[in-house]
Structure 1
């Protein structure tokens, strides 16, 4: 579970054949060459998750990918600080670079979210909005 996603992205990869998965809380779109905390950045977190799942025997063709988050938390500053949108765009781009299709997403808006991932329940992903509404993606 990742709690209180604002502009951050909760990304899940689930192997429907092996019934294993991984989730990451992405904070920023690019590492700009930093090697510390690879899970923090879209460009380093996604390859890391893929490699860890492949080490366990996953095939890319069996991965189900879902993301949530990416809210615009600082609207009054203009689009320059829309980190949520930039995060979501970068996640999509990195997934495409790795030939992975996004199966479901709930991104954007102005409200924070909490994401729960249940690999033992077929890779179910639930999203709870700051207003209390919850549903599966």
Structure 2
């Protein structure tokens, strides 16, 4: 199975910004020109935040909608994952009033919900709700469908590159 994680060969990476991988239920924040990456977004959502004023970028890979529905790290859940990323961005020098969001993922890869919304659509709804409650606008999104995605957040520009096997590559 080919994984679209945006990785490069050693020869391609010479002179390129550092890549920092973000796993499931993890987040990363940077103030340098690193590229934050995550892969394996099915029903999971990748939330990318960028503050152009402080040149601070962050990425979280959330797995489930609400912290009260399970156990684990705050970054595992859409509600608390967005909150922890906002907090860490501020610790790094970002201002909430100038942050911008881009989101991707939330597919209905395996929909086991007979009486309600899928995990992917619930994740997307909670991410949107939490960002709105914190007055962070969503400038771009690639959400839904029935396919997986991988992401690269370019910290120098705030561009979010979304790759999928079936849909190709898009820049948000």
Superposed pair shares fold, TM > 0.5: yes
Distance (Å, rounded) in 1 between the aligned partners of 2:63 and 2:112 = 20
Runs of 4+ residues over 4 Å off in structure 1? 75-79
CA shift for structure 1 position 100: 1.2
Q: Does 1:126 align with 2:161?
A: yes
State the aligned residue count: 136
* Structure 2 residue aligned with 1:5: 41
* Structure 2 residue aligned with 1:38: 74
Cα contact 2:161–2:169 (8 A) shared by 1: yes
Cα contact 1:21–1:53 (8 A) shared by 2: yes
* Structure 1 residue aligned with 2:150: 114
The structure with higher relative contact order (CA 8 Å, sep 6+) is 1
Cα contact 2:44–2:106 (8 A) shared by 1: yes
Structure 1 pair 61/81, CA: closer, same or farther in 2 (3 Å)?
closer
Q: Considering only aligned residues, what root-mean-square deviation do their CA atoms show, in Å?
A: 1.9
Where structure 1 has 5 or more consecutive residues not aligned to the other structure, the ranges are none
Give the alignment's TM-score, normalised by structure 2.
Answer: 0.73
- 5 Å-filtered alignment, 1:74-113, equals 74-75=110-111, 78=114, 80=116, 82-113=118-149
Q: Which has the higher helix share?
A: 1
